[in-house]
Structure 1
Amino acid sequence: MVEDNANVHVIIVTPPSVFDVAVILRALYTGLGPRGWKLTIVGLGNKLPLKLVTESRTPVSVVRENVSTLLEEPSEPIYIVDPRGSPAWLHPPPRSIVIDYSGSYSSKLSSAKRISSLGLNSLTYETIGIVYEYWIRKIPQQRKISLEPYSRDVRSGLYIAKKALEALSVFDNYVLLEPSVLAYTLRKVYIANRILLDPSSTEVKIDHIEGKVLETISIEAYSARNLRKIGYITLTYREGVLEIRDIDGLAYRIIIDINRKQACSAPDLCVSKSENEQGSINVIY
């Protein structure tokens, strides 16, 4: 059942192949996530082809909730994808986008604007360019983290932030933090308080539909005086936020901006790492 509260409605009319629809569907899902949009396909029959699901590599649940073959009246403002149209960046985001490969349907939309992205002859890739221009390009600015960075000890927090950038790693297109790097980092931090640390376990939960990751690292803590176990330190990493909790509660909250390669350990106290700086770290106040 396709929901009616979508922010954008994409209508594809008489596509030349299932592949063209699959490419657009994949761009919508990977760029916008599993909700907030709907796709209507006219010209492939009353039932969605199985090939559409397999070629787009979109979860069945997302297809069921977002894709339909029943055409509804598009909501204003309506934009028609046209390589000869005016540039998309000149106009505010639409409620409905029409990709009409035959031109018969779009000719009836007298109030619709014709827009373009790169001026390509392919309507399929013009559409992807428009989706990128209106929504995907703005996602990093929209997903602002409301939590404030925090460090119990400012100097140690800055050191942890630096090492967190070095620990960034990609697994199956998901960004994770390397447990061994963080464990070694915390060993150096806590030994100043006569506490020895041993990494115990790491758990990674990936929600493949939402595209989100929760990484939990558990570290055992021992007294350096008598090697008595005194508890655990737990690290959790989720969507750019690394939190470190020990027996006294929250010790550090590092906010990581993956796109800018920047990590903040306290308000207005951040470190950054540039790809062109070959590992050098800049401190930003």
Structure 2
Amino acid sequence: MTIQDIKSVGIIGAGQMGSGIAHVSSIAGFDVHMVDVNQDQLDAALATIKKNMQRQASKGKISESDITTALGRIKSSQELESLSDCDVVIEAATENEEIKKDIFRKVCPLMKPEAILCSNTSSISITRLAAVTKRPGQFMGMHFMNPVPIMQLVELIRGIATEESTYNAIKDMTHKLGKTSASSEDFPAFIVNRILLPMINEAVYTLYEGVGTVDSIDTAMKLGANHPMGPLELADFIGLDTCLAIMSVLYDGLADTKYRPCPLLVKYVEAGWVGKKSGRGFYDYGGDTPVPTR
């Protein structure tokens, strides 16, 4: 399959990542089929996509007619069967290996033989995920950054069985989406999260050991390292559950104690304080202004 053959994109998962992928795919001219088991999640995703497109229009990046046309390209469903005619299917479910494998086992028999299957996983082995499919040569990682409509990078990860034609088609598709690709080998957490998440984990250790408060740690990194967002604020934005999942993949996959998840990160996740999406993480988001929780 080549980029000329890719007309329709299926997306599994209508959360933050899935809705963002649907957004940029529809703007780029692809027909989009977005699937989620939860109808409320699908409705929320469509509302978010429309709001974000309107924000782009207010900045002059797209026109009102672009919004109408793009939204008209998006169809939503709770049934995986709706992906049967898609040329590329991108899984954007939660960062849990068993959930992803279960999805792939179910969706593969429904897809047409020549279709390509991708995972938006941010850390899990592409080779291992591909092994549960009947099309490992047509399987690869396509890791978008969050928020998808704004962030320019897509990490492309080949598994051991990924065919060159599959990689080239997805690389060309990435560029058609207006994104820049970076190729990563299939090692735990790939490039971005291999570097970013240990930094965040170290910031949590710095808090855990009492070296600094939430505010002082984030201020130090914003003003001392010129980061646009402090590491603890960024962790809340990513989701502390996702941060913990990625650190666990690094720790398990590389067997190096430097990747051991901070016990304080574990405690926050156990408490359900997983960041902005839950209303509380290293900051409390209940008021007009986020307030540090430590």
Give the TM-score, by structure 1 length.
0.30
- Which of the pair has more CA radius of gyration? 1
Higher strand share: 1
